[in-house]
Amino acid sequence: MEEERMKKERDVGSMSFMALKKAAAMVKPGAKLLDIANSAEKFVRDQGYELAFPINLSANERAAHYSPSFDDQTVVGENDIIKVDFGAAKDGILGDCAITVDVSSENQRLVESTEKALQDAIATVRSGVEVTKIGAAIEKTISSYGFKPVKNLGGHGVEEHDLHADLFIPNYANGDDTVLEEDMTVAIEPFATDGKGMVTEEDTCEIYSFVGEGQVRSQQARSMLSKIAEHYPSEPFAIRWLADPGISRFALYTAVQELLRSGSLEPHPTLTELGKGMVSQAEAKLLVTKDGCEILTK
């Protein structure tokens, strides 16, 4: 990888990890998820970076993609486990990392299972390794703690302006003989649960990606589409980022639904464990090297 690109990767990775730790430190009983999100995202922007995606603050059985709404009143509960998934961006280089905060400390084995699985997976990463072997390492570790890996979530390639590139890195031995190549940037992302080991989509959706400018009729929707195309043409965005001062919930979400119907947006719904089991997550972005890897989000 060229030196300039490598410098940017390390820079964005470092900022992503710093922002992740700051956000995780705010996860305390009674804290509003919206306040945590706004504060963490403002921190990244104030440092001169963009956001790779809206911060995810997914509690308990919710595994991923929960980001607060613009008027969200949800607070952190005393027995919650919160998955904090976050990343900074600059010049199309995207960070991606995650940590699980166990508020009550009653789910430490579950959290530890994903943290150790991430470490063990990272130890297997190198140019030429089959992704199923990474998945096998994750599955073995999580199972040794008495939990299940979430099979329909996993790691992924990360490319410029493409957070989830085509490469999929499983959390179990799925038999995929696709190999990692030198200079690939990838996210390793173990999820563990005491539930069924699968996630399903909720009706809740606060994160979207711009697809293209479809035909819309209302002025509110046209104005919103213009704003999205200008400010969020590549990376996912949160509905709350589109909320102009004084706009009503009805007007905001009606415009979003019109854009969705027009084919202008792709939704990223909240993902919930199928058996309502608790879920933990750990994630790091890596650079694949000939003989191993470099952790970028540190």
Q: Which of 96, 206, 258, 294 is catalytic?
A: 96
| 189 belongs to the catalytic site | yes
| 194 belongs to the catalytic site | no
| 156 belongs to the catalytic site | yes
Q: Which residues contact 25 (CB under 8 A, 6 or more apart)?
A: none
Gap between the Cα atoms of 37 and 11, Å rounded: 22
| CA dihedral for 195, 187, 297, 205, sign (positive or negative) | negative
Query: 113-132: b or e for each residue (b if 16 or more CB lie within 10 Å)?
Result: bbbbbbebbbebbebebbbb
Smallest CA-to-CA distance from 204 within 36, 69, 51, 40 is with: 69
Strand 62-64, strand 88-90: pairing? unpaired
Q: Which of 156, 194, 206, 294 is catalytic?
A: 156
For the chain, how big is the Rg over CA atoms in Å?
A: 19
| 96 belongs to the catalytic site | yes
Encoded amino acid at 64, one letter: A
Smallest CA-to-CA distance from 81 within 112, 105, 98 is with: 105
| Coil, helix or strand at residue 204 | coil
Q: Which of 65, 139, 164, 194 is catalytic?
A: 164
Q: Which of 120, 189, 194, 294 is catalytic?
A: 189
Gap between the Cα atoms of 120 and 274, Å rounded: 26
Catalytic sites, residue numbers: 85, 96, 156, 164, 189, 283
